[in-house]
Structure 1
Amino acid sequence: MPTADEPEPLLELPDPTAKGERDAGPGTDPVEESAAVEEPVAAVLVDTGLAHLDREFEYSVPAELADAARPGVRVKVRFAGRDLPGFVIQRRESATHGGRLAPIRSVVSVEPVLTPEILQLARQVAAEQAGTVMDVLRLAIPPRHARAEKALPSSGPDQPGVQEATRAPESDPCSALGRYRAGAAWWRRVHAGQSPRAAWLAAPCLPPEQDWPQALAEAALAAEGAGRGAVIVLPDARDVDRVDERLTEVLGPGRHVRLTADQGPQARYTAWLKVLRGHVRVVVGTRAAAYAPVHDLGLVAWWDDGDDLHAEPRAPYPHTRLVLTARADQAGAALLVGGLTMSAETAREVGEGRLHVIGGTPQRRAAPRVLVAGEGLEEEREGHAAHARIPPSAYRAAREALAHGPVLIQVPRRGYLPAMSCATCRAPARCERCQGPLALDGPSQDPRCRWCGHAAGQFTCPHCAGTRLRAGVIGARRTAEEIGRAFPGVAVITSGGDRVHARVPREPAVVVATPGAEPVADGGYAAVLLLDAWALLDRPDLRAAEEAVRRWFGAAALSLPWSAGGVVVLAGAPAQVTLPPVEALVRWDPQWFAGRELAERAELGLPPTSWSAQVRTLRTRVAGITSAVSGSGGEVLGPLPVPGDDAAVLLVVRGPWEQAGALAGALREVRARESAHKEAVLTSVRVGAVDGA
């Protein structure tokens, strides 16, 4: 018997005899079957895995499956001699194909999991991302779990005539959003069933009843109050936990579901079915929740647009922003993109008038006091020590803050010594086998290569023949070790990698965390130290400055406000030069920084002011891709070599936004031709990717 994760077909035809069976495509079948009386033809989207076959195929509907093979259900069909999965997308009275049709082999489940809205969304995302519809549907529809289908009631309160009344809030329904300029007006419009679109800049250092999770819960309440659904997408599970808690308090228990990858197959499919069957209308989760089949969608919202966790790592690599914007366009829903900072893509939407800003004025009074180590009188008073990795001003701030509560130290790199260099000439230390970076995993261990794991043994610098190593970059574990010696008797908590803490109590302690893994402190941190600022600013990435601002603001916002003694110390920023990311932090003005960043990119024609895609292909195909792109109004930059693969190269394709559809279509045609020619290695396309651009 199949397991719950391997469901058996509910209805299946007997297999043809070996004598009568032959490898038949979707247009022919050697076995005569009695077809359904009404709408005997089914258009099926078959999961072939081939780009040039990304279209519907017609099959006959056997009489035994006439009631089960409805649009949206999962089926098995015969295709090129194999039984392949697919979805019925339409039933027809007659076929457009002139030959004899092969029959549907079986109906896997009578659950119509592919709704017309999700199919339309998948087609739009595939077209914009130069991908295939089935690749998008793999992201949108979770694998079937038979036990979950049987255990959940087939109908929910959203069925006609059974809609439950929204729970009346006990307090001001927009107390958190209402504190921002235009926040209350936006909430009232959503509650009235309208579809306003806004970019929201959240204030820092707020108590839980006013913080951004509460504001997102209030936004969902507005949509539900209008009798519509809401989808809220967060970067990671820790953020989902915070919003999930506030949604339960604001909407009441059982009024929403969460969709995350860590739920397990049955729990995730059960939550997804609750949405599909109308049990709930509000969904919160990570990026896969963007496709949740919410009935009467009235609001899409996501938090921290610049977080790279919103970018799907699987083909066709759509960003949460793309998916939710397409859903808002399709359903006529309200849209809210929130964050402590603003990405360049959001700034572009604001600048072109498609999004209005909620908040937006500098939050200097609500923010903590920000000090930049090595500036002003500190350099005169402390001398060269002012530019140490942890300068005296940072130690002073931490020591004073520990009398009142916990202290957060943000370190850009995890590990012990993730990078080392020659002690004589300062050249990066490399592995003699693969030229990978050497790292130290602990104080009593030997340096090893981070790429191949080879132990360095006796190191000899190829540049100066030096034999001694020094720390190139100091990680979170080594920092925690140093802090423990500097503050004896104080608890030191590390958060990062596979050990991430969600919360810490309001008592003296030092928390050393990597970006994105900072725990929330009850009542806020008394001080926040941001170390190794240069490590974020010097990255060879188009988004280096934007990412540095996002990470600094994320940690600093966990502090107490200036009025309560909260202080942030930024250490490691280059001295004697004015840097916009540092100025944005000191002034607490992320909108100014985003606008400046966008203007600089516009001067150079860089994303998001232009359409772009990163293409990985073989050297022999560069000329063909260049020709296809040039004919569609774009240009090709490169090629660049791919480390470890001499045959592959990277190309960057860019062009004006007016040619976005033509350029994506041209790249999609390139992949389809390669698939039709049965190429062993297909070209990979990532639309919107900017690493390497």
Structure 2
Amino acid sequence: MSSENGHPEEEPQQAEQLALIRELVRKADVPRAKPRTWRGAPLAAELPVARVLVDKGPVHLDRLWDYAVPAELDADAQPGTRVRVRFGAGARNVHQGRREGGGLLDGFIVERVAESDYQGPLAAIAQVLSPEPVLGPQLLRLCRAVADRYAGSLADVLQLAVPPRHARIEAEPSPALLPPPAAPQPGSWSRYPTGPGFLDALARGGSPRAVWTALPGEHWAMELARAAAATLASRRGVLIVVPDGRSAARVDAALGELLGPGRHVLLTADTGPEERYRRWLAVNRGAVRAVVGTRAAMFAPVRDLGLLAIWDDGDGSHAEPHAPQPHAREVLLLRAAHQKAAFLLGGFSCTVEAAQLVRTGWARPLAADRERIRAVAPLVRTVGDGELARDEAARAARLPSLAWRVAREGLERGPVLVQVPRRGYVPRLACDRCREPARCADCAGPLEAHDADGALHCGWCGRRQDGWHCAECGGTRLRARVVGARRTAEELGRAFPAVPVRTSGRDQVLDTVPDTPALVVSTPGAEPVAEGGYAAALLLDGWALLSLPDLRAGEEALRRWLGAAALVRGQEAGGQVVIVAEPTLRPVQALVRWDPAGHAVRELSERAELGFPPVSRMASVSGPADAVAELLAAAELPSEAELLGPVPVTSRGAAPGEERVLVRVRPGLGGELAAALKTAQAVRLARGAGPVVRLRMDPPDIG
């Protein structure tokens, strides 16, 4: 048989043999490459280059560096592991290790590649600290996104996301993953029209997104636990972030009651570094799929995330104080978007950011109807016109007769909560006639009354001030601007000598109090839970919260009031709340109606008119005036960027002459603004130019 070109066709077996011979000849003609080595030691045969993120915080070093992988470290030096590398002067471009010298720094291997972009010899990885892969691809992508959003460095974010290593813990085996639980019954979620549907969607593997205005009472922790159980039933993971350890303990107890042991972990600072790392490793290894914790838990590497939930997102504890200062709510929103997971933002109050999520349609409202709210919320009373007719001093008095009467009635039925807006013993003073703060004649610092001698002293310079008079109205009488919890407790103890008085605040935070008559004086956020609920609550010095020079003053005051009022028995059970503040103000009216969502919507409308966040993105640039001006001049800001300021920085710890400038852009340009400021900062730091300039995206205190 002949082929088309006239040559006989080769038998199939002969053809295969000839092809094999030709391939061997071809390889023999190519000169063999010499084995790659570093200082005489062989390198890994495959993927001998590791791209390492060095644990170095400044933004101008926010890049990957290439290092050679010695053959002896090949098996352990895998992506996600911790390593030690030499780092110092001599690194020349984005993907190169240095030749020699330099100090040893910790880092993470991000990936292994076959070749480096750098043509010269690479330094080798000095040590693999642990073969445990602690930086997975999803966690790395999240940290990168957070660094970009907040104009920070990836290394800074990783310090927040990955806990310090404890070698002994890594040697311990993780528990076995338990089978998913059965989908829970709706329970108290039935109080919300869409509550059972939300749980059902989670159990079926859906990804609903909701802003939940929780009803008052202590059901919220179990409701979060039921949402977690429904998600676990769909074989997906859950992450719940709460503002403090007490809230975390309540959700932890609810999860334990509903799911039993071994299905979730609690991640808080109270557990200690070793135990926290043990639990974090169990989550990272996939042995546990449910996490509840405080702020740092926002980065917990939960496998197959199905639900991300945050409770009381307006609490300042959710904002990380360390660079780049991310907010837990925004981190969870990023995770929900990237991983297509369900999202639940809940609380007794409602922030403008939550209202923005509903207005844009990204999330749906989840709330009870008005009849249900009226049934379970306490009766809220203000110092109004009727009370003024009976007590002309009620508007000026710190504790008017209505509050005294409600306290007496409440003590006949149980404990009474008294919330004061400041902690401490020494009060700050103000003019009794015009309420202007009393200032030092020498340095303009705040005046304080010391019990030791009864005289006035400056809180800044300490000088004694005799013969004070108000510079505004000429008045000579003073009143306490805010009286602390301890002083309030003393005053109430004298007024109710037969009633025990307990305090909860900075020095000692109570978790619970018994259902017996007592006065419980607390600062905001430290209110203990009363068994069966408080019979009444007094919210004192409301004007002090509302007069704070901050854009969020009204929102924050309402959040603190609602948090305390939610611990009081419902109106049907006789629960009452007295708010000592101007009755006509919007936050006070929102409390009376128990309408935090409506208050947030109106606040959002005003923010939109003024162009303030969250309807815009802002960055704060602060530092010495010349340095701030230099950085802003060098930054390639978006063309629509608007500069507000400069204004002097008056916060505690600020150096003389510091200024702040706010940079505002419309939504959608926040990433471009962050990148521009980060680049300008990196160039400035690389040149070693002058004093530090602080950057913060979306600052919470814009004034």
Structure 1 length as normaliser, TM-score? 0.89
Cα separation, partners in 2 of 1:532 and 1:588, compared to 1, 3 Å: same
Q: Is the 8 A contact 2:468 2:476 kept in 1?
A: yes
* Paired position in structure 1 for 2:655: 645
Report the Cα distance in structure 1 between the residues aligned to 2:279 and 2:448, rounded to whole angstroms.
Answer: 43
In the alignment, which residue of structure 1 is the partner of 2:201? 189
Find the aligned partners of 1:424 and 1:367 in 2 and give their Cα distance: 36
Question: 2:61 aligned with 1:53, yes or no?
Answer: yes
Q: Name the structure 2 match of 1:11.
A: none
CA RMSD of aligned residues (A): 2.3
Relative to 1, partners in 2 of residues 1:444 and 1:528: Cα closer, same or farther, differing over 3 Å?
A: farther
Report 1:557-576 matches (<5 A): 557-571=566-580, 573-574=581-582
Aligned to 2:314: 306
1:109 corresponds, among 109, 125, 130, to 130
- Could you say which residue in structure 2 is the equivalent of 1:487? 496
The 1-side partners of 2:449 and 2:48 are apart by 67
Take 2:440 and 2:674, find their aligned partners in 1: how far apart are those partners? 40
Indicate which of 258, 271, 276 corresponds to 2:279.
271
Matched ranges for 1:23-42 at <5 A: 31-42=39-50
2:244 equivalent in structure 1: 236
Letter in 2 for 1:605: G
Find out whether 1:582 has 2:588 as its counterpart. yes
**Equivalent in the alignment of 2:188:** 176
CA distance in 2, matches of 1:657, 1:216: 31
Amino acid at match of 2:510: H
**Aligned-partner Cα distance in 2 for 1:336–1:471:** 41
Of the three residues 622, 627, 635, the one matched with 1:621 is 627
Shift of 1:34: 1.6
Contact 2:431/2:470, CA 8 A, preserved across alignment: no
Letter in 2 for 1:603: E
| Residue of structure 2 equivalent to 1:633 | 640
Deviation at 1:472, TM superposition (A): 3.0
**Once the 2 structures are TM-superposed, how far is the Cα of residue 626 of structure 1 from its aligned partner?**
3.9
**Native 8 Å contact 2:192 2:369 kept in 1:** no
Residues 668-687 of structure 1: matches in 2 within 5 Å?
Answer: 668-687=678-697
2:262 counterpart of 1:262: no
How far the C-alpha of 1:444 sits from its partner, in A, is: 6.7
The whole-number CA distance in structure 1 between the counterparts of 2:353 and 2:574 is 35
Match of 1:253 among 256, 261, 264: 261
Look up the equivalent residue of 1:506 and give its one-letter code: D
Matched, 1:508 2:529: no
TM-score by structure 2 length? 0.88
Match runs of 1:346-385 below 5 Å:
346-359=354-367, 361-362=369-370, 363-373=373-383, 375-385=384-394
Cα shift at 1:183 = 1.0
Report the number of matched residues. 647
Once the two structures are superposed, the pairs formed by residues 87-126 of structure 1 within 5 Å of their partners are: 87-126=108-147
Q: Match for 1:603 among 590, 605, 609?
A: 609
Preserved CA contact (<8 Å) 1:632 1:666: no
Q: CA deviation at 1:49?
A: 2.5
Cα distance in 1 between the residues matched to 2:231 and 2:412:
44
| Residue of structure 1 equivalent to 2:702 | 692
TM superposition shift of 1:471: 2.6
Structure 1 residue 441 displacement after superposition: 6.4
Q: For residues 190-589 of structure 1, what are the structure 2 equivalents within 5 Å? A: 190-205=202-217, 208=218, 211-359=219-367, 361-362=369-370, 363-373=373-383, 375-385=384-394, 387-421=396-430, 428-431=437-440, 435-440=444-449, 449-451=458-460, 455-461=462-468, 470-571=479-580, 573-574=581-582, 578-589=584-595
Matched, 1:593 2:612: no
SS in 2 for 1:176: helix
Q: Is 1:165 the equivalent of 2:209?
A: no
Paired residue type of 2:208: P
TM-superposed CA distance for 1:379, in Å, is 1.6
| 1:255 to partner: Cα distance | 1.4
Bigger drift between 182-191 and 618-627 goes to: 618-627
Q: Deviations over 1:147-172 (max 9, x none)?
A: 2222x20x5434xxxxx323447xx5
Q: Which amino acid aligns with 2:81?
A: V
CA contact (8 A) 2:456 2:465 kept: no
Check conservation: 1:176, 1:218, Cα contact below 8 A.
no
Question: Does the CA-based 8 Å contact 1:386-1:392 persist in structure 2?
Answer: no
1:664 aligns with 2:674: yes
1:543-574: CA deviation from partner (whole Å, max 9, x where unpaired): 00000110111100100000000001111x12
Deviations 1:60-94 (A, max 9, x none): 00011001111101111011111111100101122
Q: Which one-letter code corresponds to 1:612 in the other structure? A: M
Q: In structure 2, how many angstroms separate the alpha carbons of the residues matched to 1:46 and 1:424?
A: 60
Q: Which amino acid aligns with 2:548?
A: R
The worse-fitting range, judged by mean Cα deviation, of 286-295 and 419-428 is 419-428
Measure, in 2, the Cα distance between the counterparts of 1:376 and 1:428. Answer: 27
Tell me: CA distance 1:460–1:30, structure 2 relative to 1, closer, same or farther (3 Å). Answer: farther
Residues 396-423 of structure 1 deviation map (CA, whole Å, 9 limit, x = unaligned): 1110111110000111111123312467
Superposition deviation, residue 271 in structure 1: 1.3
SS where residue 549 of structure 2 aligns? coil
Does residue 140 of the first structure (1) align with residue 154 of the second (2)? no
Query: For structure 1, which runs of at least 5 residues remain unmatched after alignment?
Result: 1-28, 159-163
CA distance in 2, matches of 1:322, 1:174: 28
Give, as a single letter, the amino acid of the residue that structure 1 aligns with 2:133.
P
Distance 1:256 1:434, change over 3 A: farther
**Aligned to 1:200, what secondary structure does the other structure show?**
strand
> 1:89-129 CA deviation, whole Å, 9 max, x = no partner?
10112222211110000011111111111100010001010
Counterpart residue number, 2:98: none
Contact 1:404/1:526 (<8 A) preserved = yes
- How far has the Cα of 1:450 moved from its partner? 4.2
CA contact (8 A) 2:627 2:691 kept: no
Deviation at 1:489, TM superposition (A): 1.1
Aligned to 1:19: none
CA gap 1:639/1:479 in 2 versus in 1, 3 angstroms: same
Q: Is the 8 A contact 2:470 2:476 kept in 1?
A: no
CA gap of 1:280–1:371, structure 2 versus 1, over 3 A, is same
Deviations 1:622-671 (A, max 9, x none): 44444436444311111111235234211111110121111111111121
Greater displacement, 360-369 / 283-292:
360-369
Cα pair distance change 1:514/1:175, threshold 3 Å:
same
Q: Does the CA-based 8 Å contact 1:479-1:512 persist in structure 2?
A: yes
Question: Which range moves more in the overlay, 671-680 or 494-503?
Answer: 671-680
Q: Name whichever of 57-66 and 430-439 sits farther off.
A: 430-439
Q: Deviations over 1:333-370 (max 9, x none)?
A: 11000011110001011000000011154422221111
User: Using the alignment, how far apart are the partners of 1:62 and 1:537 within structure 2?
Assistant: 63
* Paired residue type of 1:559: V
Paired-residue identity, %: 50
Preserved contact between residue 386 and residue 393 of structure 1 (Cα < 8 Å): no
Change (3 A) 1:447 1:580: same
